[in-house]
Amino acid sequence: MGTDIRVHQVYAGRVLHGPGARTLVPDEIERLGSQRVLVVASPSSARTAQELAVALGERHAATFGHPAQHTPVEVTAEALDLAGQVRADALVAIGGGSAIGLSKALAIRTGMPQVAVPTTYAGSEATPVLGETADGVKTTRRDPALAPGTVVYDPELTLSMPRGLTLTSALNALAHAVEALWDTEASAATRAYAVESADGVLSALPVVLDHPADVVARGRLQEAAWLAGACLAQARMGLHHQLAHVLGGTYGLPHAELHALLLAHVMRFNLVAAPDAAARLARVAYGDPVLAVSALAARHDGPTTLGALGVPRTALREVAERVASDPYPNPRPVTVDAVEKLLLAAW
């Protein structure tokens, strides 16, 4: 008895969602009883950060405006210095996964509460996970204390996303949902999130690409990204994320673009061995989900192949060997030859 029992950690935080939700951040700070807020903002969110500083008035302690991808420890040290100098007691992160990663790195070192205001679809705000880089080596940790207590989703903050970032970031989110669907240990709750998320991306993304200023469709896409982030928090990621980690880490490739171009290839490889995931995805894609995702990926104006991203053809075999030597949990066995073939198709 007991071998069929699984324990599922479900992440449920406080979420505000809707056009203009960012204007409620000062109320959230009031709720936390904080007096000295350090705002961590992506460069693209400088204006929103400035507006928030005005709205916070005396409770705005400082703004740190240059987070970096993959949370380098030197940048964290610099922001930590600033937090100490201004005696910060709470964090508000506004921006993409890089700003939210820095906020998490500061929170875990200081115990400060966090309010996250994401402006991309990366999903970091929904996870208790942090990847940090020191001396070029990325390490990942998981701790409930990393998850922001409040997340504020304001679709108006995504209107400024360039078309390419909109597309690749949304496919990055979809990858979280897809991998959750073929994780054989994912809970019913996670599967429900994943289906709703995939439905949201596949139905709202084409609308947003055609009508970038459609706040309703942007809101739906953001909801899909929220659920995808929860999938990332609650499910085990497989071959897709392993390829992204190995390729991204080795060649310093742009996170969202890499995910976007790999996804259809990994789906084509895995879905034959994951009939339940394939059936659920086919329902929300109204047809072949691989074709739906590759058609979306092909709408990118930027690089859509590993070759165009700068990965040398000669490196594919070695990447395949590294991945196959210690594979992440995956529905289909991961062999060197099969991964090399997949990479060649993506190349």
Q: Give the interface with ligand NAD as residue ranges (CB under 6 A).
A: 42-44, 69-70, 95-99, 101, 119-120, 122-124, 127, 129-131, 157-158, 160-161, 165, 169, 232, 255-256
Phi-psi region of 237 (alpha: psi -120 to 50; beta: other; left: phi over 0): beta
SS3 195: helix
Per the DSSP assignment, residues forming a β-bridge with 141 are 130
Cα distances (angstroms) measured from residue 266 to each of 182, 241, 261, 297: 12, 10, 10, 13
Nearest partner of 229 among 171, 301, 180, 173, judged by Cα: 173
Nearer to ligand NAD, 151 or 278 (CB): 151
In terms of DSSP H, where are the helices of 145-288?
A: 163-181, 188-210, 215-234, 239-251, 255-270, 275-285
CB of 284: closest distance to ligand NAD in angstroms? 22
CB of 6: closest distance to ligand NAD in angstroms? 22
Q: Which two tokens stand for residue 76?
A: 């964290």
Nearer to ligand NAD, 68 or 285 (CB): 68
Is 175 within 8 Å of 263 (Cβ atoms)? yes
Nearer to ligand NAD, 36 or 300 (CB): 300
CB of 208: closest distance to ligand NAD in angstroms? 12
Is 90 within 8 Å of 113 (Cβ atoms)? yes
Sequence letter at residue 340: E
Nearer to ligand NAD, 119 or 242 (CB): 119
Nearer to ligand NAD, 107 or 290 (CB): 107
CB of 193: closest distance to ligand NAD in angstroms? 15
- For 123-148, give the DSSP string: -GGG-SEEEEEETTEEEEEE-GGGS-
Nearer to ligand NAD, 42 or 63 (CB): 42
CB of 39: closest distance to ligand NAD in angstroms? 14
CB of 235: closest distance to ligand NAD in angstroms? 12
Per the DSSP assignment, residues forming a β-bridge with 140 are 131
Nearer to ligand NAD, 18 or 59 (CB): 18
CB of 285: closest distance to ligand NAD in angstroms? 23
